[in-house]
Structures are given as structure tokens and as C-alpha cells.
Amino acid sequence: MSKLTEKSDLKGLTLLGRGARPRKKLETFPNHHPGRDYVVTLKTEEFTCVCPATGQPDFARLTIQYIPDRKILESKSLKLYLWSFRNQGAFHEHVANSILDDLVKVLDPRWCKVTAEFSVRGGISITVQAEHRK
């Protein structure tokens, strides 16, 4: 029989079920199916950061996809992590790659891809796709 969530999976999760505030902390829980390749997809339409030169807001649709190895990303920690970018000045290319780097650091996934589709500003939209393979 396949394993479902166990109480021990909650060990170390400090954000789930608690107050929300932006923070650069990603949390994980154990993958009970490490022998199988499966894709986890997380999406948000509400990502924001600001232009490092003008301070104007930038809005993006983010799609994060990964094939877990031993760890799975806890979604509330991702929400708070993404929220932490709200007032940060960053170029679009740096945002996508920074998010990918942080995900790879905590998950050590078999594969991970971050797609950041930024809204039109100045007549141009920018989409950045950053990818990691083990």
C-alpha cells in the first residue's frame, strides 16, 4: 500500500498553520515516492517585484515545475517566499534565476524549471525560463 502523509512529515515545518508574513525561507517535507518520476507544478498569477531603476511595480505569472527526488516543496512557504520579492528591485532575468537557485538548493530535485511571464511594460513583455537538470 502506498504511503500517505505521516505525522513525521510535519517535523521541521515552521510556517504551515501559522501567521503569514513575507520571508525568504523555503520548507520541504519527505517524498514518499522517490523511485517514481512525477512532475509537481505550482502556479501563481500574483507575483510582484519592482524595477531596480525606477521602482515601478512589475507583475508576473510564475510557473514552477519540478521532479522531486527526496524532498517536496511546502506550498505555504513558497507563497511567503514569493511575497518577499514584492518590494525588491530586480531585473526579470535575475528573478527567475534566483528563484530557481533557491529551489534547487532546498529541494535538490531531479529537474526543475521556473517560467516567469512578466506583464507588458513599455510595450514589451518578457518571459524568462530557467531550468536545472541533475
Low-confidence ranges of the chain (pLDDT < 50): none
Given the residues 51, 69, 102, 108, select the one marked as catalytic: 51
Please tell me the distance from the alpha carbon of residue 44 to that of residue 20, in angstroms, as a whole number. Answer: 17
Please tell me the distance from the alpha carbon of residue 112 to that of residue 133, in angstroms, as a whole number. Answer: 7
* Cα distances (angstroms) measured from residue 3 to each of 6, 28, 30, 68, 70: 8, 17, 11, 16, 14
- pLDDT at residue number 75: 95
51 is catalytic: yes
CATH number 3.40.1010.10 is the correct assignment for the domain at 22-133: no
58 is catalytic: yes
Q: What is the pLDDT of residues 45-56, one digit of tens each?
A: 999 999 999 999
